[in-house]
Amino acid sequence: MANIDPYAILGVEREATAEEIKRSYRKLARELHPDVNPDPESQERFKQVTAAYEVLSDPEKREMYDLGIDPRTGAAGNFGAGNFGFGDFMDAFFGQQARGPRSRMRRGQDALIRLTIDLDEAAFGTERDITVDTAVACTSCSGAGTAPGASVVMCPMCKGRGEVQSVQRSFLGQVMTSRPCPQCQGFGSLNPNPCAECSGDGRVRTRRTMTVRIPAGIDTGTRIQLAGEGEVGSGGGPAGDLYVEIVETPHPVFERHGDDLHCSVTLPMTAAALGTTLTLDTLDGVEDVVIAAGTQSGSVKVLRGKGVPHLRSSGRGDLHVHLDVTTPTKLDGEQEELLRQLAELRGEERPELAVTTDDQGLFSRLRGAFGSK
């Protein structure tokens, strides 16, 4: 740490503006804050970032550092690039505190898998078996990482402290610095007889199957959290979480919008004019849909409570049945004669052009689509 550059820590150029330095510091602080990343490495990094900002955010301290002057005392020397580096300033800023050995136990990583289900399963819920490839505790050493009958031993170099100290001479006098022990990598102990099964990691990879409960009303993109079902941590550490992300396959009839369902039904002209009753297969079974006489193309029949159940509350969405009235394109002689008779009875042999002028008319919609100028 003796020669760490605060510009490098914050990831900015030496010509960076005060705003760029502040922006970089805030970004790193949010990522490394102990409340977000409690592991010791992130905490140590957070200290470095804070100390770097302490120097570069103060114009006088920054200028002194750039000139090779100690920002704390103002004494000339080779502060920026010599024996007394920025890491020593950081130690002085936070105080020399014993960090102690690092734990070999680490929390396992979270895992994410995607599960494809159909509309019926999403609407009413189900249970599905999933298979995941993940890390589990080594059964040979029970996660300890040592061979049967063996154990870790104290590191002879650091005497179990996990760090070694050295004294350097500078223009400020003798400065004591600490760094992780190179022999044990900061653990304070050595594993001379690692487990042959897991090579000392305390975990092995395997494939396992588990059952996931899919709640009613779930939708694409929703994630189900299975606490402790992720990867087991190294050194017998706790497992992470497993997240199951739902992907709903398109339905051949219904289109889902939130908890509402939509479908389209084609009606013959005669059925729309005279009225009829449709038989529609819904998620709940067969439903009769009454079509009133004179129904127009584009009408929508709403079946209340026939949609998808709400995920986090009671009740259900609705089923919207969109009606499309079709005009026959091929008529035989008898059919054509009957239609002509109907047109004569209704006085529609030569209908007059009716121009719609209300706000919902064709020209109004066109103006809304292309914008009025």
pLDDT for 84 beyond 50: no
DSSP-derived 3-state class of residue 44: helix
Is the Cα torsion angle 143, 147, 149, 153 positive or negative in sign? negative
What local confidence, expressed as pLDDT, does residue 6 receive? 87
- The mean per-residue pLDDT over the stretch 126-131 comes to 95
What local confidence, expressed as pLDDT, does residue 87 receive? 53
DSSP-derived 3-state class of residue 21: helix
pLDDT for 172 beyond 60: no
φ/ψ of residue 370, rounded to 5:
-100, -10
Tell me what the pLDDT averaged over the chain comes to.
Answer: 83
Domain chopping of the chain, boundaries? 6-97, 111-143+202-248, 255-370
- Rounded Cα distance between 109 and 205, Å, is 13
- Rounded Cα distance between 252 and 337, Å, is 39
> Which band of pLDDT confidence, cut at 50, 70 and 90, is reported for residue 372?
very low
pLDDT in tens, 179-201: 889 999 889 999 999 999 999 99
Under CATH, to which class is 111-143+202-248 assigned? Answer: mainly beta
- The mean per-residue pLDDT over the stretch 159-175 comes to 74
Under CATH, to which class is 255-370 assigned? Answer: mainly beta
CA 64 to chain centre: 44
- Rounded Cα distance between 90 and 54, Å, is 9
pLDDT for 266 beyond 90: yes
CATH for 6-97 is 1.10.287.110
Q: Of 64-78, 169-183, 284-298, which has the strongest mean pLDDT? A: 284-298
What local confidence, expressed as pLDDT, does residue 99 receive? 60
What local confidence, expressed as pLDDT, does residue 360 receive? 52
What local confidence, expressed as pLDDT, does residue 76 receive? 46
What local confidence, expressed as pLDDT, does residue 175 receive? 66
Instruction: Give the residues across from 134 on adjacent strands.
Output: 206
* % of the chain with per-residue pLDDT over 70: 81
> Which band of pLDDT confidence, cut at 50, 70 and 90, is reported for residue 81?
very low
Q: Where are the alpha helices (DSSP H) in 166-221?
A: none
Give the position of tokens 């299975």.
Answer: 226
pLDDT for 98 beyond 70: no
Strands 163-170 and 300-303, by their bridges, are: unpaired
Is the Cα torsion angle 100, 103, 107, 109 positive or negative in sign? positive
Q: Of 38-42, 163-167, 263-267, 340-344, which has the strongest mean pLDDT? A: 263-267
pLDDT for 285 beyond 60: yes
- Tell me the Cα Rg of the chain: 37
Q: Where are the alpha helices (DSSP H) in the chain?
A: 6-10, 18-32, 40-56, 59-66, 86-94, 119-124, 269-274, 333-345, 362-370
The model's pTM is 0.61
Give the CA distances from residue 193 to residues 107, 150, 153, 301, 338, in Å, rounded to whole numbers and listed in that order.
Answer: 23, 6, 10, 74, 98
Neighbour count for residue 113 (Cβ, 10 Å): 14
* % of the chain with per-residue pLDDT over 90: 49
pLDDT for 206 beyond 70: yes
CA dihedral (4, 6, 10, 12) in degrees, to 10, reads: -110
What local confidence, expressed as pLDDT, does residue 347 receive? 82
Let me know if the fold of 6-97 is the same as that of 111-143+202-248: no
Which residue, among 212, 207, 157, has the nearest Cα to 180 in the 3D structure?
A: 157
- Rounded Cα distance between 91 and 58, Å, is 18
What local confidence, expressed as pLDDT, does residue 177 receive? 74
pLDDT for 366 beyond 80: no
In the chain, where do the E strands start and end?
111-117, 126-137, 153-154, 163-170, 173-180, 189-190, 203-214, 223-226, 242-248, 255-257, 260-268, 276-282, 285-291, 300-303, 319-326
